[in-house]
A and B are shown apart, each in its own frame.
Chain A
Amino acid sequence: MADGPLIVQSDKTLLLEVGHPGAAEARASIAPFAELERSPEHVHTYRITPLALWNARAAGHDAEQVVDALVRHSRYAVPHALLVDVADTMDRYGRLRLENDPVHGLVLRALDRAVLAEVARAKRIIPMLGERIDDDSIAVHPSERGRLKQALLKLGWPAEDLAGYVDGEKHPIALVEDGWQLRDYQQGAVAGFWEGGSGVVVLPAGAGKTIVGAAAMAQVGATTLILVTNTVAGRQWRHELLRRTSLTEDEIGEYSGERKEIRPVTIATYQVMTARRKGEYLHLDLFGARDWGLIIYDEVHLLPAPVFRMTADIQSRRRLGLTATLVREDGQEGDVFSLIGPKRFDAPWREIEAQGWIAPAECTEVRVTLTDDERMAYAVAEPEERYRMCATAASKRMVVRRLVERHADDRVLVIGAYLDQLDELGRMLNAPVIQGSTRNRERERLFEAFRTGEITTLVVSKVANVSIDLPEAGVAVQVSGTFGSRQEEAQRLGRVLRPKADGRAAHFYTVVSRDTLDQEYAAHRQRFLAEQGYAYTIVDADDIPDGAGSSDQG
Chain B
Amino acid sequence: MPADEAQDESVTLADWLRAQPDEAIIRLFLLRPDLATPPPPDFTVLAARMEVRVSVTRVVDRLDTFVHEVLQALTVLPAGASLAELTAFTGHREVAAAVRRLRELGLLWGDDTALRIVGMAVDLVGERPLGLGRPVRQCLSSYRNVQLNRLAAALGGIPSQGVGAGSGSDRDGGGGWGGPGGRPDLVSVVGALFDEPARIRGWVESCTPRARELLERLASETSLGSTTAAHRVVPVEQARTPVEELLARGLIIGIDDEKVELPREVGLVVRGGTPAGPLHPRPPEIEGTAIGVASVDAAAALTAQTIVRWVTTIVEAWGETPLTPLRTGGLSVRDLRAAARLLDTDERVAAFVVELAWAAGLVDATTGNDVQFMPTAAYDRWGTEPIEVRWAVLVDSWLRAPVATWLIGERDERGRQIAALSSEVRRGVARELRADVLRALGAAPAGMAPSAASLRALLAWRAPRRTGTFLDRTVESTVVDAELLGVTGRGAPSTVGRVIIDRLEAEAADPAHTPLTSGRPAGGDTDLCRRLADVLGPLLPEPVEELLLQADLTAVAPGPLVPRVAARLARMADIESTGAATVYRFTEESLRRAFDSGLTAEDLHDDLARWGRTGTPQGLTYLIDDTARRHGRMRAGPASSYLRCDDTALLSEVVVSRGTQALGLRRIAPTIVISSLPVNDLLVGLREAGYAPVAEAPDGRVLLSRPTTHRTPARARSSSGDVADSRLAQARDVLRLVRRGDDSARTLRAARSTDIAGFGLTRSAPLILTMLQDAVREKQRILLGYVDQQGTPRDRIVRPTALDGGWLTAWDELTDQPRRFALHRVTGIAELGRSGGTPAARQDSDASH
Judged by a CB distance under 8 angstroms, whether A240 is at the interface is no
Question: A79–B483 Cα gap in the complex (Å)?
Answer: 12
Question: Which residues of chain A from 10 to 66 have a CB within 8 Å of any chain B CB?
Answer: 10-11, 13, 15, 17, 38, 40-43, 45
In the complex, the answer to whether A10 meets B578 with C-beta atoms within 8 Å is yes
In the complex, the answer to whether B553 meets A79 with C-beta atoms within 8 Å is no
Question: A535–B578 Cα gap in the complex (Å)?
Answer: 25
Judged by a CB distance under 8 angstroms, whether B344 is at the interface is yes
Judged by a CB distance under 8 angstroms, whether B550 is at the interface is yes
Chain A proximity mask over B454-484: 1 for CB below 8 Å, otherwise 0:
0000000000000000000000000000000
In the complex, the answer to whether A8 meets B556 with C-beta atoms within 8 Å is no
Q: Which of A1, A8, A15, A77 is the most central at the interface, judged by chain B CB atoms within 10 Å of its CB?
A: A77
Judged by a CB distance under 8 angstroms, whether A282 is at the interface is no
Judged by a CB distance under 8 angstroms, whether A527 is at the interface is yes
In the complex, the answer to whether B299 meets A40 with C-beta atoms within 8 Å is no
* Beta-carbon nearest neighbor of B309 in chain A: A10
- With a cutoff of 8 Å between Cβ atoms, the chain B residues found around residue A535 in the complex are 551, 617
In the complex, the answer to whether B579 meets A79 with C-beta atoms within 8 Å is yes
Q: A76-B559, A77-B298 are in contact. Are A10 and B551 (CB under 8 A)?
A: no
In the complex, the answer to whether B299 meets A77 with C-beta atoms within 8 Å is yes
Q: A41-B551, A42-B548 are in contact. Are A526 and B298 (CB under 8 A)?
A: no
In the complex, the answer to whether B579 meets A7 with C-beta atoms within 8 Å is yes
Q: A11-B577, A11-B579 are in contact. Are A538 and B622 (CB under 8 A)?
A: yes
In the complex, the answer to whether B301 meets A15 with C-beta atoms within 8 Å is no
In the complex, the answer to whether B550 meets A42 with C-beta atoms within 8 Å is yes
Shortest distance from the beta carbon of A494 to any chain B beta carbon, whole Å: 19
In the complex, the answer to whether A17 meets B558 with C-beta atoms within 8 Å is yes
In the complex, the answer to whether A7 meets B299 with C-beta atoms within 8 Å is no
Shortest distance from the beta carbon of B815 to any chain A beta carbon, whole Å: 65
Question: A235–B832 Cα gap in the complex (Å)?
Answer: 118
A-B contact count (CB 8 A): 100
- With a cutoff of 8 Å between Cβ atoms, the chain A residues found around residue B550 in the complex are 40-43, 530
Q: A15-B583, A43-B550, A527-B553 are in contact. Are A80 and B490 (CB under 8 A)?
A: yes
In the complex, the answer to whether A38 meets B552 with C-beta atoms within 8 Å is yes
In the complex, the answer to whether B548 meets A17 with C-beta atoms within 8 Å is yes
Question: A9–B299 Cα gap in the complex (Å)?
Answer: 13
Question: Which residues of chain B from 631 to 664 have a CB within 8 Å of any chain A CB?
Answer: none
Chain A proximity mask over B515-557: 1 for CB below 8 Å, otherwise 0:
0000000000000000000000000010000001111111010
In the complex, the answer to whether B301 meets A77 with C-beta atoms within 8 Å is yes
Judged by a CB distance under 8 angstroms, whether B744 is at the interface is no
Judged by a CB distance under 8 angstroms, whether A75 is at the interface is yes
In the complex, the answer to whether B551 meets A9 with C-beta atoms within 8 Å is no
Judged by a CB distance under 8 angstroms, whether B273 is at the interface is no
Question: A41–B549 Cα gap in the complex (Å)?
Answer: 9
* Beta-carbon nearest neighbor of A363 in chain B: B551
Q: A7-B580, A75-B580, A79-B579 are in contact. Are A15 and B556 (CB under 8 A)?
A: yes
In the complex, the answer to whether B548 meets A538 with C-beta atoms within 8 Å is no
Shortest distance from the beta carbon of B534 to any chain A beta carbon, whole Å: 20
In the complex, the answer to whether B580 meets A526 with C-beta atoms within 8 Å is no
Question: A9–B548 Cα gap in the complex (Å)?
Answer: 16
Choose among B549, B579, B630 the residue that contacts A10 (Cβ–Cβ < 8 A). B579
In the complex, the answer to whether A8 meets B579 with C-beta atoms within 8 Å is yes
Chain A proximity mask over B611-637: 1 for CB below 8 Å, otherwise 0:
000100111001100100010000000
Judged by a CB distance under 8 angstroms, whether A482 is at the interface is no
- With a cutoff of 8 Å between Cβ atoms, the chain B residues found around residue A527 in the complex are 552-553
Question: A538–B614 Cα gap in the complex (Å)?
Answer: 19
In the complex, the answer to whether A15 meets B619 with C-beta atoms within 8 Å is no
Question: Which residues of chain B from 163 to 200 have a CB within 8 Å of any chain A CB?
Answer: none
Q: A17-B558, A77-B299 are in contact. Are A530 and B553 (CB under 8 A)?
A: yes
Question: A45–B577 Cα gap in the complex (Å)?
Answer: 10
Judged by a CB distance under 8 angstroms, whether B302 is at the interface is yes
* Beta-carbon nearest neighbor of A71 in chain B: B295
In the complex, the answer to whether B553 meets A10 with C-beta atoms within 8 Å is no
- With a cutoff of 8 Å between Cβ atoms, the chain B residues found around residue A530 in the complex are 550-553, 617, 619
Question: A17–B544 Cα gap in the complex (Å)?
Answer: 15
- With a cutoff of 8 Å between Cβ atoms, the chain A residues found around residue B489 in the complex are 80
Chain A proximity mask over B71-100: 1 for CB below 8 Å, otherwise 0:
000000000000000000000000000000
Chain B proximity mask over A68-103: 1 for CB below 8 Å, otherwise 0:
000000011111100000000000000000000000
Question: A198–B335 Cα gap in the complex (Å)?
Answer: 47
Judged by a CB distance under 8 angstroms, whether B142 is at the interface is no
Judged by a CB distance under 8 angstroms, whether B342 is at the interface is no
Judged by a CB distance under 8 angstroms, whether A537 is at the interface is yes
- With a cutoff of 8 Å between Cβ atoms, the chain A residues found around residue B623 in the complex are 523
Chain A proximity mask over B282-317: 1 for CB below 8 Å, otherwise 0:
000000000000000011011100100000000000
Choose among B541, B580, B614 the residue that contacts A9 (Cβ–Cβ < 8 A). B580
Question: A211–B11 Cα gap in the complex (Å)?
Answer: 107
Judged by a CB distance under 8 angstroms, whether B506 is at the interface is no
Judged by a CB distance under 8 angstroms, whether B567 is at the interface is no
- With a cutoff of 8 Å between Cβ atoms, the chain A residues found around residue B214 in the complex are none
In the complex, the answer to whether B556 meets A9 with C-beta atoms within 8 Å is no
Question: A46–B550 Cα gap in the complex (Å)?
Answer: 16
Judged by a CB distance under 8 angstroms, whether A405 is at the interface is no
Judged by a CB distance under 8 angstroms, whether B581 is at the interface is yes
- With a cutoff of 8 Å between Cβ atoms, the chain A residues found around residue B549 in the complex are 42
In the complex, the answer to whether A40 meets B554 with C-beta atoms within 8 Å is yes
- With a cutoff of 8 Å between Cβ atoms, the chain B residues found around residue A526 in the complex are 551-552, 619
- With a cutoff of 8 Å between Cβ atoms, the chain B residues found around residue A531 in the complex are 552
Q: A15-B556, A76-B559 are in contact. Are A536 and B551 (CB under 8 A)?
A: yes
Shortest distance from the beta carbon of B489 to any chain A beta carbon, whole Å: 8
Q: Which of B552, B558, B618 is the most central at the interface, judged by chain A CB atoms within 10 Å of its CB?
A: B552
Question: A91–B579 Cα gap in the complex (Å)?
Answer: 25
Chain A proximity mask over B208-245: 1 for CB below 8 Å, otherwise 0:
00000000000000000000000000000000000000
Shortest distance from the beta carbon of A41 to any chain B beta carbon, whole Å: 6
Question: A232–B344 Cα gap in the complex (Å)?
Answer: 47
Question: A75–B553 Cα gap in the complex (Å)?
Answer: 24
- With a cutoff of 8 Å between Cβ atoms, the chain A residues found around residue B552 in the complex are 38, 40, 526-527, 530-531
Shortest distance from the beta carbon of A488 to any chain B beta carbon, whole Å: 18
In the complex, the answer to whether B580 meets A8 with C-beta atoms within 8 Å is yes
In the complex, the answer to whether A43 meets B548 with C-beta atoms within 8 Å is yes
* Beta-carbon nearest neighbor of B629 in chain A: A515
Q: Which of A75, A76, A526 is the most central at the interface, judged by chain B CB atoms within 10 Å of its CB?
A: A76
Chain A proximity mask over B339-369: 1 for CB below 8 Å, otherwise 0:
0000010000000000000000000000000
Question: A523–B622 Cα gap in the complex (Å)?
Answer: 11
Question: A75–B618 Cα gap in the complex (Å)?
Answer: 29
In the complex, the answer to whether B541 meets A13 with C-beta atoms within 8 Å is no
Q: Which of B551, B623, B626 is the most central at the interface, judged by chain A CB atoms within 10 Å of its CB?
A: B551
Q: A7-B558, A41-B551 are in contact. Are A1 and B577 (CB under 8 A)?
A: no
In the complex, the answer to whether B614 meets A76 with C-beta atoms within 8 Å is no
Question: A78–B581 Cα gap in the complex (Å)?
Answer: 12
In the complex, the answer to whether A9 meets B579 with C-beta atoms within 8 Å is yes
Question: Which residues of chain B from 790 to 812 have a CB within 8 Å of any chain A CB?
Answer: none
- With a cutoff of 8 Å between Cβ atoms, the chain A residues found around residue B306 in the complex are 10, 79
Shortest distance from the beta carbon of A13 to any chain B beta carbon, whole Å: 5
In the complex, the answer to whether A11 meets B344 with C-beta atoms within 8 Å is yes
Shortest distance from the beta carbon of A360 to any chain B beta carbon, whole Å: 15
- With a cutoff of 8 Å between Cβ atoms, the chain B residues found around residue A17 in the complex are 548, 558
Given contacts A40-B551, A538-B618, 13 further A-B contacts (CB under 8 A): A8-B580, A9-B580, A41-B617, A42-B548, A43-B548, A43-B556, A77-B301, A515-B630, A526-B619, A527-B552, A527-B553, A530-B617, A536-B551
Cβ contacts A to B, 29 pairs, < 8 Å:
A7-B581, A8-B580, A9-B577, A9-B581, A9-B583, A10-B578, A15-B558, A15-B577, A17-B548, A38-B552, A40-B550, A40-B551, A40-B554, A41-B614, A42-B548, A42-B550, A42-B614, A43-B550, A75-B541, A76-B302, A76-B559, A78-B302, A79-B302, A79-B303, A79-B306, A80-B489, A80-B490, A527-B553, A538-B619
Q: Which A residues have a C-beta under 8 Å from some C-beta of B?
A: 1, 7-11, 13, 15, 17, 38, 40-43, 45, 75-80, 515, 523, 526-527, 530-531, 535-538
For the complex of A and B, the 7 pairs showing the least CB-CB separation, nearest first, are A9-B579, A530-B552, A76-B580, A77-B298, A530-B551, A40-B550, A7-B581
